Amino acid sequence: MAAGWNGDHVSRGIRKGGKISLEAFMENYDPGVLPNETYLLYEIKWSSSKRAWKNCCHNNLIEHAEIYFLEDVFKKQRSDPSDHCSITWYMSWSPCGDCCRAIRRFLKEQPNVNLVIYVARLYLHKEEHNRQGLQSLVNIGVSIRDMDLP
Protein backbone atom coordinates (compact mmCIF):
# COMPACT_ATOMS: atom_id res chain seq x y z
CA MET A 1 0.00 0.00 0.00
CA ALA A 2 1.69 3.19 -1.05
CA ALA A 3 1.86 6.00 1.42
CA GLY A 4 0.45 9.48 1.01
CA TRP A 5 2.55 12.43 0.02
CA ASN A 6 2.78 13.93 3.49
CA GLY A 7 2.93 12.84 7.11
CA ASP A 8 -0.60 13.83 8.09
CA HIS A 9 -3.43 11.29 8.35
CA VAL A 10 -6.18 13.87 7.94
CA SER A 11 -5.15 16.38 5.33
CA ARG A 12 -5.38 15.42 1.67
CA GLY A 13 -9.00 15.82 0.59
CA ILE A 14 -10.30 15.82 4.15
CA ARG A 15 -12.01 19.01 5.24
CA LYS A 16 -12.31 20.52 8.67
CA GLY A 17 -14.71 18.46 10.76
CA GLY A 18 -13.58 15.18 9.18
CA LYS A 19 -15.57 15.40 5.95
CA ILE A 20 -13.98 14.05 2.80
CA SER A 21 -14.25 16.23 -0.30
CA LEU A 22 -16.33 14.88 -3.19
CA GLU A 23 -13.24 14.96 -5.41
CA ALA A 24 -11.17 12.92 -2.94
CA PHE A 25 -14.07 10.49 -2.44
CA MET A 26 -14.55 9.88 -6.17
CA GLU A 27 -10.80 9.60 -6.76
CA ASN A 28 -10.32 7.07 -3.94
CA TYR A 29 -13.54 5.06 -3.81
CA ASP A 30 -14.28 4.55 -7.51
CA PRO A 31 -13.28 0.88 -8.08
CA GLY A 32 -12.22 1.75 -11.63
CA VAL A 33 -9.48 4.06 -10.33
CA LEU A 34 -6.37 2.72 -8.59
CA PRO A 35 -5.16 5.43 -6.18
CA ASN A 36 -1.97 5.12 -4.13
CA GLU A 37 -3.60 6.05 -0.84
CA THR A 38 -6.01 4.19 1.41
CA TYR A 39 -8.85 6.27 2.78
CA LEU A 40 -10.75 5.03 5.79
CA LEU A 41 -14.09 6.62 6.63
CA TYR A 42 -15.29 5.40 9.99
CA GLU A 43 -18.28 5.41 12.27
CA ILE A 44 -18.02 4.55 15.95
CA LYS A 45 -21.17 3.84 17.93
CA TRP A 46 -20.92 3.31 21.70
CA SER A 47 -23.73 1.47 23.49
CA SER A 48 -23.81 4.27 26.10
CA SER A 49 -24.44 6.97 23.47
CA LYS A 50 -27.23 7.58 20.98
CA ARG A 51 -24.97 9.47 18.62
CA ALA A 52 -22.39 7.91 16.30
CA TRP A 53 -18.99 9.51 15.89
CA LYS A 54 -17.95 9.83 12.21
CA ASN A 55 -14.68 10.93 10.66
CA CYS A 56 -12.04 9.84 8.19
CA CYS A 57 -8.30 9.45 7.73
CA HIS A 58 -5.83 8.07 5.22
CA ASN A 59 -2.46 6.40 5.29
CA ASN A 60 0.76 8.40 5.47
CA LEU A 61 4.47 7.77 5.04
CA ILE A 62 4.73 6.12 8.46
CA GLU A 63 1.63 3.99 9.00
CA HIS A 64 -1.45 2.62 7.31
CA ALA A 65 -4.84 4.18 7.99
CA GLU A 66 -6.04 1.07 9.86
CA ILE A 67 -3.12 1.23 12.30
CA TYR A 68 -3.65 4.95 12.84
CA PHE A 69 -7.30 4.28 13.65
CA LEU A 70 -6.54 1.43 16.08
CA GLU A 71 -3.62 3.08 17.86
CA ASP A 72 -4.69 6.72 17.87
CA VAL A 73 -8.35 7.33 17.05
CA PHE A 74 -9.88 4.46 19.03
CA LYS A 75 -7.67 4.93 22.08
CA LYS A 76 -8.64 8.61 22.28
CA GLN A 77 -12.35 7.78 22.01
CA ARG A 78 -12.42 4.82 24.43
CA SER A 79 -13.46 5.82 27.94
CA ASP A 80 -15.17 2.77 29.46
CA PRO A 81 -13.70 -0.65 28.52
CA SER A 82 -16.98 -2.37 29.43
CA ASP A 83 -18.97 -0.21 26.99
CA HIS A 84 -19.86 -2.13 23.81
CA CYS A 85 -18.71 -0.48 20.60
CA SER A 86 -19.72 -1.01 16.97
CA ILE A 87 -17.26 0.24 14.38
CA THR A 88 -17.93 0.48 10.65
CA TRP A 89 -15.09 1.19 8.23
CA TYR A 90 -15.58 2.30 4.62
CA MET A 91 -12.20 1.69 2.99
CA SER A 92 -10.90 2.54 -0.45
CA TRP A 93 -8.60 -0.54 -0.28
CA SER A 94 -9.01 -3.66 1.84
CA PRO A 95 -6.50 -4.13 4.67
CA CYS A 96 -3.18 -5.77 3.79
CA GLY A 97 -2.14 -8.99 5.53
CA ASP A 98 -0.07 -7.15 8.15
CA CYS A 99 -2.95 -4.81 9.00
CA CYS A 100 -5.28 -7.81 9.25
CA ARG A 101 -2.95 -9.28 11.86
CA ALA A 102 -3.00 -5.98 13.82
CA ILE A 103 -6.82 -5.84 13.57
CA ARG A 104 -7.07 -9.40 14.93
CA ARG A 105 -4.80 -8.50 17.85
CA PHE A 106 -6.86 -5.36 18.53
CA LEU A 107 -10.15 -7.27 18.51
CA LYS A 108 -8.72 -9.92 20.83
CA GLU A 109 -7.76 -7.13 23.29
CA GLN A 110 -11.15 -5.41 22.85
CA PRO A 111 -13.80 -8.15 23.22
CA ASN A 112 -16.65 -5.57 23.41
CA VAL A 113 -15.87 -4.23 19.93
CA ASN A 114 -17.71 -5.30 16.77
CA LEU A 115 -16.16 -4.40 13.39
CA VAL A 116 -17.75 -4.27 9.94
CA ILE A 117 -15.59 -3.38 6.93
CA TYR A 118 -16.81 -2.21 3.53
CA VAL A 119 -14.17 -2.06 0.79
CA ALA A 120 -14.18 -0.39 -2.61
CA ARG A 121 -11.48 -2.77 -3.93
CA LEU A 122 -9.24 -5.59 -2.72
CA TYR A 123 -5.59 -4.78 -2.07
CA LEU A 124 -3.21 -7.12 -3.95
CA HIS A 125 -5.70 -9.95 -3.68
CA LYS A 126 -3.52 -12.38 -5.61
CA GLU A 127 -0.97 -12.36 -2.79
CA GLU A 128 -1.67 -15.24 -0.42
CA HIS A 129 -0.65 -13.21 2.65
CA ASN A 130 -3.37 -10.64 1.96
CA ARG A 131 -6.05 -13.23 1.17
CA GLN A 132 -5.25 -15.20 4.32
CA GLY A 133 -5.33 -12.01 6.37
CA LEU A 134 -8.83 -11.14 5.18
CA GLN A 135 -9.99 -14.74 5.71
CA SER A 136 -8.61 -14.70 9.24
CA LEU A 137 -10.73 -11.62 10.01
CA VAL A 138 -13.85 -13.27 8.61
CA ASN A 139 -13.06 -16.36 10.71
CA ILE A 140 -13.22 -14.31 13.93
CA GLY A 141 -16.51 -12.65 12.99
CA VAL A 142 -15.49 -9.49 11.13
CA SER A 143 -17.91 -8.77 8.31
CA ILE A 144 -16.06 -7.71 5.14
CA ARG A 145 -18.29 -6.58 2.30
CA ASP A 146 -17.86 -5.14 -1.16
CA MET A 147 -18.95 -1.52 -1.26
CA ASP A 148 -21.19 -0.33 -4.07
CA LEU A 149 -20.26 3.19 -5.20
CA PRO A 150 -23.79 4.61 -5.05
Catalytic residues: 66
Helix axes 97-109, 128-139, angle to 10 degrees: 20
Answer whether 10's CB lies under 8 Å from 65's CB: no
Helix (H, G, I), strand (E, B) or coil at 40: strand
- H/E element holding 89? strand 85-91
Number of H helices, E strands in the chain: 5, 7
Q: Return phi, psi of residue 28, to 5°.
A: -105, -20
Q: Which helix (H) or strand (E) holds 27?
A: helix 22-29
